Amino acid sequence: GQQVMQIPQYQHVQEGEDFTTYCNSSTTLSNIQWYKQRPGGHPVFLIQLVKSGEVKKQKRLTFQFGEAKKNSSLHITATQTTDVGTYFCAGGNNAGNMLTFGGGTRLMVKP
Amino acid sequence: DVKVTQSSRYLVKRTGEKVFLECVQDMDHENMFWYRQDPGLGLRLIYFSYDVKMKEKGDIPEGYSVSREKKERFSLILESASTNQTSMYLCASSFLLSGELQETQYFGPGTRLLVL
Protein backbone atom coordinates (compact mmCIF):
# COMPACT_ATOMS: atom_id res chain seq x y z
CA GLY A 1 0.00 0.00 0.00
CA GLN A 2 0.85 3.64 -0.12
CA GLN A 3 3.57 4.78 2.26
CA VAL A 4 4.47 8.32 3.23
CA MET A 5 7.81 8.98 4.86
CA GLN A 6 8.70 12.20 6.58
CA ILE A 7 12.10 13.52 7.69
CA PRO A 8 13.49 14.54 10.02
CA GLN A 9 11.61 13.02 12.91
CA TYR A 10 12.78 15.77 15.27
CA GLN A 11 14.35 19.18 14.77
CA HIS A 12 15.68 21.63 17.33
CA VAL A 13 16.25 25.16 16.08
CA GLN A 14 17.17 28.46 17.64
CA GLU A 15 14.44 31.06 17.38
CA GLY A 16 14.94 32.97 14.16
CA GLU A 17 16.48 30.04 12.27
CA ASP A 18 14.74 28.45 9.32
CA PHE A 19 13.21 24.98 9.37
CA THR A 20 12.28 22.49 6.65
CA THR A 21 10.49 19.16 6.79
CA TYR A 22 10.37 16.78 3.84
CA CYS A 23 7.74 14.30 2.81
CA ASN A 24 8.12 11.44 0.32
CA SER A 25 5.48 9.10 -0.99
CA SER A 26 5.99 5.64 -2.47
CA THR A 27 3.26 6.38 -5.01
CA THR A 28 2.07 9.35 -7.03
CA LEU A 29 -0.38 11.46 -5.06
CA SER A 30 -3.46 13.32 -6.19
CA ASN A 31 -2.88 15.88 -3.49
CA ILE A 32 -0.85 16.49 -0.36
CA GLN A 33 -2.13 18.05 2.81
CA TRP A 34 -0.24 19.47 5.76
CA TYR A 35 -1.40 19.51 9.36
CA LYS A 36 0.06 21.00 12.53
CA GLN A 37 -0.36 19.52 15.98
CA ARG A 38 0.55 21.73 18.91
CA PRO A 39 1.85 19.98 22.06
CA GLY A 40 -1.12 18.44 23.82
CA GLY A 41 -3.40 19.31 20.94
CA HIS A 42 -4.85 17.64 17.90
CA PRO A 43 -3.83 17.94 14.24
CA VAL A 44 -5.18 21.02 12.51
CA PHE A 45 -5.37 21.37 8.74
CA LEU A 46 -2.97 23.91 7.25
CA ILE A 47 -3.08 23.58 3.49
CA GLN A 48 -3.71 21.34 0.49
CA LEU A 49 -1.55 21.19 -2.67
CA VAL A 50 -2.86 19.65 -5.84
CA LYS A 51 -0.85 20.70 -8.87
CA SER A 52 2.54 19.41 -9.93
CA GLY A 53 5.23 21.89 -8.84
CA GLU A 54 2.73 23.95 -6.87
CA VAL A 55 4.02 26.41 -4.27
CA LYS A 56 1.79 28.02 -1.68
CA LYS A 57 2.65 30.46 1.08
CA GLN A 58 1.07 31.26 4.39
CA LYS A 59 3.01 34.11 6.01
CA ARG A 60 6.36 32.54 7.00
CA LEU A 61 5.35 29.05 5.81
CA THR A 62 6.11 27.89 2.26
CA PHE A 63 4.68 24.64 0.98
CA GLN A 64 5.87 22.88 -2.18
CA PHE A 65 4.55 19.92 -4.12
CA GLY A 66 7.09 18.13 -6.28
CA GLU A 67 6.94 17.92 -10.04
CA ALA A 68 6.32 14.17 -9.91
CA LYS A 69 3.67 14.62 -7.18
CA LYS A 70 5.51 12.19 -4.94
CA ASN A 71 7.20 14.59 -2.57
CA SER A 72 6.52 17.77 -0.70
CA SER A 73 8.20 20.13 1.70
CA LEU A 74 7.25 22.68 4.31
CA HIS A 75 9.68 25.50 4.99
CA ILE A 76 9.35 27.94 7.87
CA THR A 77 11.35 31.14 7.67
CA ALA A 78 12.63 32.72 10.87
CA THR A 79 10.98 30.33 13.32
CA GLN A 80 9.15 31.63 16.36
CA THR A 81 8.27 29.84 19.58
CA THR A 82 4.67 29.71 18.37
CA ASP A 83 5.80 27.39 15.57
CA VAL A 84 6.50 24.62 18.08
CA GLY A 85 4.61 21.43 17.34
CA THR A 86 4.52 18.40 15.10
CA TYR A 87 3.99 18.90 11.40
CA PHE A 88 2.38 16.09 9.44
CA CYS A 89 2.09 15.65 5.73
CA ALA A 90 -0.74 13.48 4.44
CA GLY A 91 -1.00 12.08 0.96
CA GLY A 92 -4.28 11.67 -0.83
CA ASN A 93 -4.99 9.49 -3.82
CA ASN A 94 -7.82 9.17 -6.26
CA ALA A 95 -9.32 6.19 -4.42
CA GLY A 96 -11.51 8.24 -2.15
CA ASN A 97 -11.17 10.44 0.88
CA MET A 98 -8.56 8.51 2.77
CA LEU A 99 -5.28 10.14 3.66
CA THR A 100 -1.99 8.43 4.44
CA PHE A 101 -0.12 10.38 7.08
CA GLY A 102 3.62 10.68 7.40
CA GLY A 103 5.27 10.06 10.75
CA GLY A 104 5.49 13.77 11.48
CA THR A 105 8.34 16.12 12.25
CA ARG A 106 8.46 17.48 15.74
CA LEU A 107 9.79 21.03 15.79
CA MET A 108 11.26 22.49 18.95
CA VAL A 109 12.30 26.15 19.04
CA LYS A 110 14.73 27.49 21.60
CA PRO A 111 14.03 31.11 22.55
CA ASP B 1 -17.11 26.17 13.19
CA VAL B 2 -16.60 22.43 12.89
CA LYS B 3 -16.71 20.60 16.15
CA VAL B 4 -15.57 17.05 16.68
CA THR B 5 -15.86 15.79 20.22
CA GLN B 6 -14.63 12.62 21.85
CA SER B 7 -16.20 11.08 24.92
CA SER B 8 -13.10 11.00 27.10
CA ARG B 9 -9.73 12.74 27.16
CA TYR B 10 -8.12 10.08 29.34
CA LEU B 11 -9.10 6.48 29.96
CA VAL B 12 -7.53 3.70 31.99
CA LYS B 13 -8.69 0.14 31.38
CA ARG B 14 -7.55 -3.34 32.27
CA THR B 15 -6.44 -6.04 29.87
CA GLY B 16 -9.42 -7.96 28.55
CA GLU B 17 -11.95 -5.21 29.14
CA LYS B 18 -14.27 -4.07 26.39
CA VAL B 19 -13.64 -0.42 25.60
CA PHE B 20 -15.91 2.04 23.78
CA LEU B 21 -14.57 5.29 22.38
CA GLU B 22 -17.22 7.68 21.12
CA CYS B 23 -16.87 10.44 18.57
CA VAL B 24 -19.49 12.98 17.61
CA GLN B 25 -19.40 15.66 14.90
CA ASP B 26 -21.94 18.39 14.50
CA MET B 27 -21.41 19.34 10.86
CA ASP B 28 -23.33 16.63 9.03
CA HIS B 29 -20.11 15.22 7.55
CA GLU B 30 -20.44 11.93 5.76
CA ASN B 31 -16.90 10.65 6.29
CA MET B 32 -15.53 9.84 9.70
CA PHE B 33 -12.23 8.24 10.71
CA TRP B 34 -10.49 6.63 13.65
CA TYR B 35 -6.71 6.84 13.97
CA ARG B 36 -4.22 5.89 16.59
CA GLN B 37 -1.17 8.03 17.14
CA ASP B 38 2.09 6.59 18.46
CA PRO B 39 5.47 8.31 18.69
CA GLY B 40 7.42 8.05 15.45
CA LEU B 41 4.57 6.29 13.65
CA GLY B 42 2.38 9.27 12.92
CA LEU B 43 -1.33 8.70 12.53
CA ARG B 44 -2.38 5.25 11.43
CA LEU B 45 -5.88 4.69 10.14
CA ILE B 46 -7.86 2.03 11.98
CA TYR B 47 -11.27 2.31 10.32
CA PHE B 48 -13.29 4.83 8.45
CA SER B 49 -16.93 5.22 7.56
CA TYR B 50 -18.41 6.98 4.55
CA ASP B 51 -22.04 6.66 5.54
CA VAL B 52 -24.35 5.37 8.23
CA LYS B 53 -23.80 1.65 8.78
CA MET B 54 -20.94 1.66 6.25
CA LYS B 55 -17.36 1.01 7.28
CA GLU B 56 -14.04 0.25 5.70
CA LYS B 57 -10.89 -1.17 7.24
CA GLY B 58 -7.89 1.07 7.41
CA ASP B 59 -4.28 0.04 7.81
CA ILE B 60 -4.47 -1.49 11.28
CA PRO B 61 -8.01 -2.78 11.97
CA GLU B 62 -6.98 -5.88 13.94
CA GLY B 63 -8.34 -5.88 17.47
CA TYR B 64 -10.84 -3.09 16.73
CA SER B 65 -14.35 -2.78 15.45
CA VAL B 66 -16.52 0.25 14.73
CA SER B 67 -20.15 1.24 14.70
CA ARG B 68 -21.92 4.03 12.84
CA GLU B 69 -25.63 3.91 13.62
CA LYS B 70 -26.15 7.65 13.22
CA LYS B 71 -24.44 10.05 10.87
CA GLU B 72 -23.00 12.21 13.61
CA ARG B 73 -21.60 9.41 15.76
CA PHE B 74 -18.75 7.02 15.07
CA SER B 75 -17.73 4.56 17.78
CA LEU B 76 -14.50 2.62 18.10
CA ILE B 77 -14.68 -0.62 20.05
CA LEU B 78 -11.84 -2.60 21.54
CA GLU B 79 -13.44 -6.00 22.10
CA SER B 80 -10.75 -7.18 24.52
CA ALA B 81 -8.23 -4.49 25.33
CA SER B 82 -4.57 -5.40 25.30
CA THR B 83 -1.53 -3.49 26.51
CA ASN B 84 -0.35 -2.87 22.94
CA GLN B 85 -3.50 -0.86 22.37
CA THR B 86 -2.26 1.79 24.79
CA SER B 87 -2.18 4.85 22.58
CA MET B 88 -3.69 8.19 21.68
CA TYR B 89 -6.88 7.70 19.65
CA LEU B 90 -7.98 10.47 17.34
CA CYS B 91 -11.31 10.74 15.62
CA ALA B 92 -11.80 12.90 12.54
CA SER B 93 -14.53 13.87 10.15
CA SER B 94 -13.91 15.32 6.73
CA PHE B 95 -15.35 18.02 4.58
CA LEU B 96 -14.68 19.36 1.11
CA LEU B 97 -13.55 22.95 1.34
CA SER B 98 -14.56 25.17 -1.55
CA GLY B 99 -11.98 24.92 -4.32
CA GLU B 100 -10.14 21.94 -2.87
CA LEU B 101 -9.73 18.57 -4.59
CA GLN B 102 -10.00 16.30 -1.60
CA GLU B 103 -11.74 16.60 1.71
CA THR B 104 -9.75 17.92 4.64
CA GLN B 105 -9.99 16.33 8.03
CA TYR B 106 -11.11 17.88 11.28
CA PHE B 107 -9.85 16.14 14.36
CA GLY B 108 -11.28 15.70 17.79
CA PRO B 109 -9.18 16.39 20.90
CA GLY B 110 -8.10 12.76 21.22
CA THR B 111 -8.50 10.08 23.87
CA ARG B 112 -5.37 8.90 25.61
CA LEU B 113 -6.00 5.26 26.50
CA LEU B 114 -3.86 3.33 28.95
CA VAL B 115 -4.39 -0.43 29.14
CA LEU B 116 -2.92 -2.04 32.23
Spatial contact of B69 and B55, defined as CB atoms under 8 Å apart: no
pLDDT above 90: percentage of residues in chain A: 92
Q: Which of A42, A90, A100 sits opposite B109 (nearest CB)?
A: A42
Three-state secondary structure readout of chain A: CCCEEEECCEEEEECCCCEEEEEEECCCCCEEEEEEECCCCCCEEEEEECCCCCEEEECCEEEEECCCCCEEEEEECCCCHHHCEEEEEEEECCCCCCEEECCCEEEEEEC
Q: What integer pLDDT is reported at residue B98 of this predicted model?
A: 79
Tens digits of per-residue pLDDT, A17-44? 999 999 999 999 999 999 999 999 999 9
Mean residue pLDDT of chain B comes to 93
Chain B's closest residue to A91, CA to CA, is: B102
Does A88 reach chain B within 8 Å, measured CB to CB?
A: yes
Tens digits of per-residue pLDDT, A79-104? 999 999 999 999 998 666 789 999 99
Residue B102 to residue A97, Cβ atoms within 8 A: yes
Spatial contact of B58 and B65, defined as CB atoms under 8 Å apart: no
CA distance B56 to B15: 26
Q: What integer pLDDT is reported at residue A96 of this predicted model?
A: 67
